[in-house]
Amino acid sequence: MSDWVEVDGSYGEGGGQIIRSAVSLAAVTGKPVSIQSIRAKRAKPGLQHQHLAAVHAAGDICGADIQGADLGSVELVFTPTKKVSAGEYRFSISTAGASNLVLQTVLTPLALAGGESRVIVRGGTHNPMAPSAEYLEFVYLPALAQAGLRATMGSSRYGFYPRGGGESEIVFTLRDGFSAIDFTSRGQLVKAAGVVLASNLPDTVLERGERALREFLPAEIPIERRAKPSPGTGAAVFASAEFENGFGGFVSLGERGKPIEKVAAECGSAFEKWMAAEAAVDEHLADQLVLPMALAKGRSRWRTIQVTEHLRSVMWLVGLFVPASMEIEELGDGTGIVVIDGCG
């Protein structure tokens, strides 16, 4: 059947990004997709809890018939049966899996469906190798706002490894589809922020984290302390900057035996490095923009601080679903310019 899209799940970085992006694009386009060799290069191949949560979330919004959605499965068939409808949705991950990746999986299809959507996800709000709740709040959603998305986000509870149990909510709407963006030159700094957050830890942890982060952030940049309920114990430090045409955000997670000062220093150092560079977006936003901008009207461009395997992989995958023209111009300083002619 010509409408079928077949995906090699081991391509490129071969991780969960390929699964999430594939089911998101299937929901948008209505094309059924077959994914083989899922996470074949990883120590634990196959679908894990957070991948399954994203698959089922995408399935819920387009009434998909799903085969192979089992823990450890290396093959998946995802067949949408109806158009995506905006509305209110609730999803849950039984473990500390990254709830924000589930939010990103369904956001683009629901936004393009028209109307207002409200999505609530329970699970891990602060996970290694995943965007934190603050990253979506301060970086991802503001970047998409320049493409026409109107969104608000908040977290009522934090979810740290291994307990999870956090809860985040996004309310959003998009009129007339995504518009093209140009993030090749930063322009002037609009605002910057730092956040030191914790659950079930003494207030002194937040105080120490703020003092440590202040060593990396100029005095005029505010640092907020956030303490929210959680089933477990945890802490994190986040810093971000928004320019007229650029966004960057960095997070470091606490762990047992790791002083909050070290957590803050890791975050602050990454923030300083990006601020001193010429790129307009950080390496994570660079790949997260690909899917919505491939579906936008017109030509989008952005300069990333680093061309990653994640970026190459998602561009390859998007090209299997939609006729968007995509290329990367790699520059001598290690940065790169992504150019995408969206298919509207």
90-126 per-position pLDDT tens digit: 999 988 889 999 999 999 999 999 999 999 999 999 9
pLDDT at 3: 84
Which residue type does 207 have? Answer: E
For residues 281 and 245, is the Cβ–Cβ distance under 8 A?
A: no
Q: Is 310 a catalytic residue?
A: yes
Reading the block at residue 124, the tokens are 């891990």
pLDDT at 256: 92
Q: What does the pLDDT look like over 225-269, one tens digit per residue?
A: 999 999 999 999 999 999 999 999 999 999 999 999 999 999 999
pLDDT at 332: 84
Lowest mean pLDDT among 38-52, 227-241, 296-310: 38-52
Which residue type does 85 have? Answer: S
pLDDT at 333: 86
Q: Which residues contact 257 (CB under 8 A, 6 or more apart)?
A: none
pLDDT at 2: 46
For residues 216 and 269, is the Cβ–Cβ distance under 8 A?
A: yes
pLDDT at 48: 92
CB atoms near residue 323 (< 10 Å):
9
CB atoms near residue 244 (< 10 Å):
13
Average pLDDT over residues 68-81: 96
Residue 43 pLDDT greater than 90, yes or no: no
pLDDT at 1: 37
Separation between Cα atoms, residue 303 and residue 284, nearest integer Å? 12
Reading the block at residue 238, the tokens are 């986040």
| Of residues 62, 59, 116, the one with CA closest to residue 91 | 59
Reading the block at residue 262, the tokens are 């070290």
Q: Please, which pLDDT band fits residue 57 given cuts at 50, 70 and 90?
A: very high
- Specify the 3-state DSSP secondary structure of 315: helix
Residue 45 pLDDT greater than 90, yes or no: yes
pLDDT at 258: 96
Looking from the CA of 241 toward its CB, the CA atoms found within 13 Å total 28
Residue 35 pLDDT greater than 60, yes or no: yes
For residues 191 and 223, is the Cβ–Cβ distance under 8 A?
A: no
Across the chain, mean pLDDT equals 95
Which one of 51, 126, 284, 310 is the catalytic residue?
A: 310
How many residues does this entry show for the chain? Answer: 344
- Taking the CA atoms of residue 203, residue 208, residue 211 and residue 214 in that order, the dihedral angle to the nearest 10 degrees is -90
Looking from the CA of 196 toward its CB, the CA atoms found within 13 Å total 26
CB atoms near residue 42 (< 10 Å):
13
Q: What does the pLDDT look like over 178-189, one tens digit per residue?
A: 999 999 999 999
Average pLDDT over residues 299-323: 96
